[in-house]
């Protein structure tokens, strides 16, 4: 009897172990690696060069590792790269070295391409941050009339792409402007009081440069136009369409719950689906983020606080992951083709961005305050319903 019971115990233990292994194997098969042109799992890594040069260290399981490689292995297939025209102000903060200029962007693009990731190049057409409240014309173009400004924008766009082509670094996607709700290259291209004419002409100059470049390039970049709010995107696109801005490939949107009037995931789906249906263009979230904590790793105040949660979501590592999985599914439900997370690697360091030293974003990052990669990255390999 004793031998029988012993054999039975061994059998049951083996059965449990085999069952666990089957379950684990099943969980592994639930993961999926997406191609960038199937669904863009994007990460904006524009700050990484600077963070690393100012002491930031990225890790996996407490072992230092290249952040591009970490995120590639976690499912990222696209790297978004910010490009400023001549950001001399950054040199004043960094012992004469500029960041987010063409040569810094080149370094970022090379790091992405070496790992087989696609690139989305974000032309700000400014020497500094471009967003709905700031669209300063590059100093090199200051005072130009519209006709000359259009030529300058065209030639600059074309020259950047040709330079990258000479380095075998052509981006798969190109943004003509960043969060251009109110136009670009102010004051000439400012869109106000429903006056979009100059802005539309500038956009078409940038678009033409990319199309002309594509005639001699094996990689033909997809063109993205970028608006910052779901709630105003329909109005914005209609203004552009009525002014013959139609030769582009993707409608790109920012979506941050903190600043959006679209409060639910169903609202995200409905807004994106309406845009896709009305204008016949693929839609993509090209900027988003969500906090996993309200704490700080440094003395630089964070942009997102513990109170900046989305409707129906809390603030924790689990909620960080849940929010992003739900957002990706909401975009897919609308027929969207990608979600790109803004600066998930902006961890604390001695980096000085002009407003503070460290990071104002580390509580939205994919890395904890010790530099270790977080569970949030699991959303990039989750098996979604298409």
**Pairwise CA distance, residues 77 & 33, whole Å:** 8
* Active-site residue, selected from the candidate residues 172, 227, 287, 343: 287
Nearest to 78, CA basis, from 374, 380, 334, 384: 380
Partner residues linked to 287 by β-bridges: 254
- Report the largest interatomic distance among the alpha carbons of the chain, rounded to a whole angstrom: 98
Contact 49, 349 (CB under 8 A): no
Annotated active-site residue 192? The verdict is no
Among the listed residues 179, 201, 227, 362, the single catalytic one is: 179
201 tagged catalytic: no
The answer to whether the beta carbons of residues 22 and 320 sit under 8 Å apart is: no
- CA-nearest of 292, 296, 321 to 308 is 292
Residue 320 pairs in a beta bridge with none
Residues paired with 226 in a beta bridge: 252
Asked if 190 contacts 135 with a C-beta cutoff of 8 angstroms, the reply is yes
Antiparallel, parallel or unpaired: β 118-123 and 78-83: parallel
Buried b or exposed e, range 48-77, using 16+ CB within 10 angstroms: bbbbbebebebbbeeeebbbbebbbbbbbb
Return left, alpha or beta for 267; rule: phi > 0 is left, psi -120 to 50 is alpha, else beta. alpha
Tokens 């380095």 sit at which residue? 167
Burial of 214 (0-12, 13-18, 19+ CB in 10 A): middle
Active site residues: 179, 287
């Amino acid at each position: 009897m004793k031998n029988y019971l012993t054999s039975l115990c061994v059998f049951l233990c083996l059965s449990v172990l085999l069952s666990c292994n089957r379950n684990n194997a099943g969980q592994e098969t639930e993961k999926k690696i997406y191609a960038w042109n199937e669904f863009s799992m994007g990460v904006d890594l524009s700050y990484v060069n600077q963070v690393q040069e100012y002491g930031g260290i990225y890790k996996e399981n407490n072992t230092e590792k290249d952040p591009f490689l970490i995120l590639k292995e976690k499912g990222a297939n696209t790297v978004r790269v910010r490009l400023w025209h001549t950001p001399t102000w950054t040199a004043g903060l960094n012992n004469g070295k500029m960041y987010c200029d063409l040569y810094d962007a080149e370094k970022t693009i090379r790091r992405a391409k070496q790992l087989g990731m696609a690139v989305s190049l974000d032309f700000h057409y400014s020497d500094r941050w471009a967003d709905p409240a700031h669209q300063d014309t590059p100093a090199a173009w200051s005072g130009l009339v519209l006709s000359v400004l259009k030529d300058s924008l065209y030639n600059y766009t074309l020259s950047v792409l040709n330079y990258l082509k000479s380095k075998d670094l052509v981006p798969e996607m190109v943004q003509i402007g960043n969060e251009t709700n109110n136009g670009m290259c102010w004051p000439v291209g400012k869109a106000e009081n429903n006056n979009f004419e100059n802005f539309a002409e500038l956009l078409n100059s940038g678009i033409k440069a990319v199309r002309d470049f594509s005639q001699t390039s094996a990689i033909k970049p997809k063109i993205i136009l970028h608006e910052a709010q779901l709630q105003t995107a329909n109005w914005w696109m209609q203004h552009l369409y009525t002014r013959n801005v139609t030769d582009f490939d993707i409608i790109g949107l920012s979506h941050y719950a903190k600043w959006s009037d679209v409060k639910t995931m169903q609202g995200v789906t409905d807004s994106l689906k309406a845009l896709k249906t009305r204008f016949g263009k693929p839609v993509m979230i090209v900027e988003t983020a969500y906090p996993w904590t309200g704490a700080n790793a440094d003395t630089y105040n964070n942009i997102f606080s513990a109170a900046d949660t989305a409707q129906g979501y809390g603030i924790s590592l689990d909620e960080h992951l849940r929010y992003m999985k739900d957002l990706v599914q909401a975009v897919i439900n609308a027929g969207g083709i990608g979600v790109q997370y803004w600066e998930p690697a902006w961890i604390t360091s001695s980096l000085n961005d002009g407003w503070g030293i460290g990071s104002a974003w580390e509580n939205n990052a994919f890395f904890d305050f010790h530099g270790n990669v977080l569970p949030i990255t699991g959303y990039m390999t989750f098996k979604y319903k298409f």
